[in-house]
Structure 1
Amino acid sequence: MKRDDAIHPYTRVVAAIVLPFLVVAWVLLYLLPSDTDTLFAWTIVPSLTAMLLAAAYAGGVWFFVSVLRAGRWHRVKYGFPAVLVFAALLAAATLLHWDRFHFGHVSFVTWATLYFTTPVLVAVAIVLNWRADPSTADERDYRIPLAPRVMVAGVGAVSLVCGLVVFVAPGIVAGVWAWELTPLTARVVGAVLTLPGVVNLWLLADSRWSAFRSIFQAQIVSLVFITAALVLARGDLATSGLAAPAFVLGIAVSLVGFAAFYLWCERRSARTGSAVSE
C-alpha cells in the first residue's frame, strides 16, 4: 500500500453518510431531551443522560466534518478507533437491552441500522487507511514533549477505565452515580466515557500535534456541550453524596485542561511555523 497519507475515498463517503444522522440525533437529544418517549429510539430519563449522549454526537459532527475537510489521513486517524469502540459498545448495549426500544419507530430503525453497521464501516475505513500514514510530521508541525503527552494520556486512561467499568457493571455503578441511571443508560454513559480515553492513549505512540489537533477540537466541543447540559439540567443531579459535585468538577477540570493543552500546542505549532518560514 502506498504510504502517501491520503484519505481513502471510502472514508469520506462513510463520514458523509454518518454526519446527517449525528446532526438529527443531536437536535432530538439536546434540544428536545424530554420528548424521547415519542421522538427517539428509546425513552431516556432523565434529560441529562440524553444531553450527555447528544454532546458526544456534537463532537462526532465536528470530527466527521474534519474528515471531509482534512487533506491528510494522519490528521484524523486516531479518532476512528474511538468511534469504533463507542459504536461497538452501543451496538452491544442495544442487544443487551433490546426490550427497552421503541420497535417499529423510525428512530429505532435508524438507531439499530446505524449501530449495527457503523462498527463494520469504521473498521473497514481503519484497515483501508491505517498504513497510508508515513509517520512524518506536517511542514509546520509541533512535536509534543513526552511529559504532557503522558499526563493527557493518563487522563484518557482514567476515562477509559471508568467507561468500561460503568459499561460492564451498570447495576453497581447506577447506585452511586451523579444522577439516576438504568442499566441501559449506564452503559450509554460508559460508552461516552471511552471516547476521550481511546483517543488520548494514542499520544503515547505519536507526538505530532497535527495528528491530534482536529480531534481535540471535537473533544472540546463535546465538553462544552456537557458543561452546558450540567447547567441546563442541573435539577437531574443527585442532591446527596459527593458523586454529582465530583462529576461536575471532573468535567470542569477536563474542559479547562483540554482547552489549555490545545492552546499550548497551537502556540508552539505557530512558533514552529514561523521558524520554518524564516
Structure 2
Amino acid sequence: MAEQVGRDRLFVATRVVAVAILPFLVIAAVLLFAFPTRTGELFAWAIDPPLSAFMLGSAYVGGVLFFVRVATAHEWHRVKHGFPAVVVFAGALLVATLLHLDRFSANLSFVVWLILYATTPFVVAALAWAQRREDPGAHDPGVPDAETWRIPAPARGVLIVVGLAALGTGAVLFAAPDFAIAVWAWELTPLTSQVTGAVLSLTGVVNLGMVRDDRWSSFRILFQAQLISLAAIAISVGAAWDDLRWDRPATPFFLALVAAALIGYAAFTVWCELATRRGRSAAAP
C-alpha cells in the first residue's frame, strides 16, 4: 500500500538510520576532543594542530543532538532542513577523502570512516526524498501549526546572508585550499582545509532553508544543535589558543565571528522561544 502523504510523519527507516549513525558520532567526538594529539593512531588520520580536530569534533557534537531528535521527534518538518546539510557535509567529506587517500591511516578507524562517508550522503538523501511529501506545510504555508511562530522576514534575511557567508567561506576552503592555508587563522593542510570547509557548510545549508520556510518549529532543533556546535568551537579555541596564528588577519576575524555567532544564535533562539510561548498563551482557551 502506498504511503499516505502530508501527515508530517517520520518513517521508521529514518529513525533507524538516525540511531545507527549516533554511535559513530559519539565515538568520533570523544576521540577528537579527548585525544586530539593521538588522532593518527586512534582516528582515521593524523590531524594537526588540535584545533582542526576540535572543529570537526564540534560538528559531531551538534550532530549527536540532531540525530537524537530525529530518532525521537514526532514530526518530519522539525528536522527536515537538517538532511540537506548532512548530505552536503558528508558528501564533501567523501570527496575530500578520495582526494587525499594517502593522508589516512591504515587502521580500523579509517575503514569505518570510509564506509560511513561512502554510504551516508546517499542514504540520507534517499530518506529526505522519500519523506519529501510528508510535510504539508512545505506545500501550503497556511497549514495551521499550534506550536509554530513565523520568523519575520528581516530576521530570516539576516540569517540567510549569514548562511551564504558561511557557505561561501566553506566553498573557498574546500575548492581553494592553497589560498586558505596562507590566510586561515591556524595551520591547515589541504585535507583539513577541506574538512573545515565541510563543517562551515552545515550552517550555510541549514540557513538557506529559510528562503522557503518561515516556521520556527522547522528550525528549532537545528538551531539548538548549531548552538551546541558553536559552544564547542568557543571552548576549543580557548583550549587550543596557542594554535592560532596572530600574524594573519583572519584570526581576529574568526574569533569575532565565533563570538558574534554564539551570542546572536543564542539571542535569536531565546527570542523565538519566547514568541512561541506567547503565541501558545494567546491561542489557549
TM range (shorter): over 0.9
Residue in 2 that maps onto 1:134: 136
The 5 A counterparts of 1:221-240 are 221-240=228-247
Output the CA distance in 1 between the equivalents of 2:255 and 2:50.
16
**Cα offsets for 1:181-202 (capped at 9, x unmatched):** 0000000000000000000011
Output the CA distance in 2 between the equivalents of 1:137 and 1:270.
16
Structure 2 portions without partners, runs of 5+: 138-142
Residue in 1 that maps onto 2:80: 77
Decide whether aligned partners of structure 1 residues 137 and 86 sit closer, same or farther in structure 2, where only a CA change above 3 A counts: farther
Residue in 2 that maps onto 1:51: 54
**3-state secondary structure, aligned to 2:133:** helix
RMSD of Structure 2 on Structure 1 (CA) = 0.8
- The one-letter amino acid paired with 1:110 is V
Output the CA distance in 1 between the equivalents of 2:201 and 2:103.
23
Decide whether aligned partners of structure 1 residues 232 and 167 sit closer, same or farther in structure 2, where only a CA change above 3 A counts: same
**Cα offsets for 1:94-119 (capped at 9, x unmatched):** 0000100112x110011000000001
Q: Count residues with an aligned counterpart.
A: 277
8 Å CA contact 1:137, 1:210 repeated in 2: no
Instruction: Give the TM-score normalised by the residue count of structure 2.
Output: 0.96
The 5 A counterparts of 1:1-278 are 1-103=4-106, 105-135=107-137, 136-278=143-285
Q: CA shift at 1:137, angstroms?
A: 4.5
Q: Which runs of 4+ in 1 moved over 3 A?
A: none
8 Å CA contact 2:51, 2:236 repeated in 1: yes
Residue in 1 that maps onto 2:140: none
8 Å CA contact 2:81, 2:206 repeated in 1: yes
Output the CA distance in 2 between the equivalents of 1:179 and 1:22.
25
Output the CA distance in 2 between the equivalents of 1:69 and 1:185.
33
Output the CA distance in 1 between the equivalents of 2:246 and 2:78.
42
Output the CA distance in 2 between the equivalents of 1:56 and 1:171.
23
**Does 236-245 or 194-203 show the bigger shift?**
236-245
- The one-letter amino acid paired with 2:50 is S
**3-state secondary structure, aligned to 2:136:** coil
**3-state secondary structure, aligned to 2:278:** helix
- The one-letter amino acid paired with 1:132 is E
8 Å CA contact 2:10, 2:75 repeated in 1: yes
8 Å CA contact 1:83, 1:195 repeated in 2: yes
Identity %: 49
Output the CA distance in 1 between the equivalents of 2:225 and 2:83.
13
Output the CA distance in 1 between the equivalents of 2:145 and 2:54.
36
